[in-house]
Structure 1
Amino acid sequence: MAIAMKGFHPLLQPNVVKMNKPFISLCPEITRAHALTLMDWLKDEEITCYLSDSRHVSRFIEQVIGRVQLPILTHLFNQGGRFFMAYDRHDAPVGFVRLVKTGPDCEIVLVIGDRDNWGRKLGASTIREGMKLAFLDMRAEKLIAKIHPDNVRSLNTFRRCGFLPESDTPTLKSFSMTSGQYLRLLRENAMGDSTDIYITEIDKARLRNLIEIEQGPAVVELEHEIERAIVVKPQQVVRNVVTMNSRALVHLDDEEMEVALVYPQDADDRAGKLSVCSDVGAAILGYQEGDAIDWRVAGRTRRIGIEKVLYQPEAAGDFHL
């Protein structure tokens, strides 16, 4: 049985402050514990009042928990669409996203589930993560949000994320964004990313070719970073930026490590040569000394800091690398 929900949580925070964008990650694995959490969320009438079939959803989850004795329930939740739990930077579940693709179009449904999380500006960050998956992973041409007219906070949040009105009825407002609009917003740095990153023209061309043949969650993140990066000539990149084939001293939470950022064919984890298609590799591309970011690494959120760029090909005049 598929979960088919239309509508949005009424208390998505509308005021998005770019420099204070909360960290959200979307994770595809759904466990029994997640299902129990979802059931608790859907018992709250303030959460379900704009979800057209919340009773059906609650009943489905109860049946799954009662009849299916499996620790992982991902395949059941992905019937008819793709379901993701939304986590904050402390790896606590704060909501969910469902993406349903029909032809070239994709519909997004989301809920911020716990009242304690309302007002933390999680809604816009969750929408942006859903956009990333819809456009860069599922390759949708258009992303659609269908919202109840009384759901003012959700209406405002989707507008602030760049969605445009598409249709309007007394019972439903439809907003949409195209793939082209999304990429333009990324390149204009209008998606709430607080830290600029830099990439050389040569690295961007090579990495675009790489993305066409590589797959996986880190590759989606890598494409997102490439599209939003400020592109510079190799001779003009600042010497403290992590470019391809750079070596850098980084911190992964409290662990210090020396790494080289390389292409997949040159990767060797034991020698500290990290593929740009790995979690940490995709994370550090384009950042400078002193930058620190939250990033999902091996299933949990880590704090990655760039302490020092030890070697950069461009700074050394090694433009052939």
Structure 2
Amino acid sequence: MSEPFISLCPEITRANAFHLIDWLEDESVVRYLSDSRHVSRSIEQVVSRVQLPILTHLFNQGGRFFMAYDRNDEPVGFVRLVKTGQDCEIVLVIGNRDNWGRKLGASALREGMKFAFFDMRAEKLIAKIHVDNARSLKAFLRCGFVLDSETSAMKSFAMTSDRYLQRLRDGRLGNLSEIHITEIDQTRLRNLVALEQGADVVDLEHEIERAIAVDSRHVGEDVVTMNSRTLLRLDDDAMEVDLVYPGDADGSAEKLSVFSDVGSAIIGYREGDAIDWRIRNRTRRIRIEKVLYQPEAAGDFHL
């Protein structure tokens, strides 16, 4: 069985705010959140005072706030990241009790780690969990966090950046499909991402770092490499794209930048693979139908 799909969206709407209020008023949901009542009242005051459809800037005061969505684009919880020096603290809530037991918490945690380490550049990610919160304790341990300190009421778990990258590269952070990238492409892309660090390249950097690097002469001819031409199916729509570096993109699907949503999604996958990916605030199903041209297979190693 594949891992549940969760995506984190930084845009917070008024509708999201009402979801949050409902969740924070549920005693079973907020049982281990010490400041839940204060937070709920603060959100209510914001909604009544600010008549704006988008409230993102208000929720990001003092940290980063994300709504967690499932594969059907339904909000199921939230993640908050607060940076303190080189470290970052994470708070994660799955808000609807009907979703408990579906491993959505672990999936949301993996997405939260991605933003903490690739966007906020944290050296260490910390989670403070009540000793009786068995569900959360299990989720954080499953994702590789280690006990850092504890009191009679609280346990503090930590994940360092080095440990995270090692586990990501070893394939120990979820049931993700294996992807391959040539050593040359990996080096070029790492250099480009280093110049463009920020939220826009978080997904691409994540994919580059988890990919298995192979020699250009040994990569499978059905793998999507840089400058490949590929037939995709985006939900029910077929499209042909050339996956190119940002400087070669022309804004159309004909020349699709690897920095784009779809471009970041397909790098390293092979014919027959299908993935769920959040594109423009909507989850889409992308299937690699056929690699029509691949530079390595054609002997065009100069591209």
CA distance in 2, matches of 1:65, 1:96: 17
CA distance in 1, matches of 2:33, 2:253: 51
Match of 1:64 among 35, 46, 50: 46
Query: For the Cα contact (< 8 Å) 1:246–1:311, is it kept in 2?
Result: yes
CA distance in 2, matches of 1:215, 1:308: 31
Match of 1:36 in 2: 18
How many Å apart are 1:213 and its aligned residue? 1.4
What does 1:231-310 align with in structure 2 at a 5 Å threshold?
A: 231-270=213-252, 272-310=254-292
Query: For the Cα contact (< 8 Å) 2:24–2:40, is it kept in 1?
Result: yes
Match of 1:118 in 2: 100
How many Å apart are 1:270 and its aligned residue? 3.0
How many Å apart are 1:101 and its aligned residue? 0.3
Task: Provide, for residues 197-225 of structure 1, a one-character-per-residue CA deviation record: whole Å limited to 9, x for no partner.
Answer: 00000000000001011245441101100
CA distance in 1, matches of 2:125, 2:198: 21
Q: Greater RCO between the two (CA within 8 Å, min separation 6)?
A: 1
Letter of the 1:153 counterpart: R
Letter of the 2:179 counterpart: I
**Count of paired positions:** 303
Query: For the Cα contact (< 8 Å) 1:218–1:279, is it kept in 2?
Result: no
What does 1:131-170 align with in structure 2 at a 5 Å threshold?
A: 131-170=113-152
Report the 3-state secondary structure (helix = DSSP H, G, I; strand = E; otherwise coil) of the residue aligned with 2:252: helix
RMSD: 0.9
Match of 1:129 in 2: 111
What TM-score, normalized by structure 1, do the two folds share? 0.93
Query: For the Cα contact (< 8 Å) 1:198–1:231, is it kept in 2?
Result: yes
CA distance in 2, matches of 1:230, 1:84: 29
How many Å apart are 1:153 and its aligned residue? 1.3
Unmatched 5+ stretches in structure 1: 1-18
What TM-score, normalized by structure 2, do the two folds share? 0.98
Match of 1:76 among 54, 58, 66: 58
Query: For the Cα contact (< 8 Å) 1:42–1:48, is it kept in 2?
Result: yes
Match of 1:100 in 2: 82
CA distance in 2, matches of 1:77, 1:283: 28
Match of 2:154 in 1: 172
Match of 1:226 in 2: 208
Identity of matched residues, %: 73
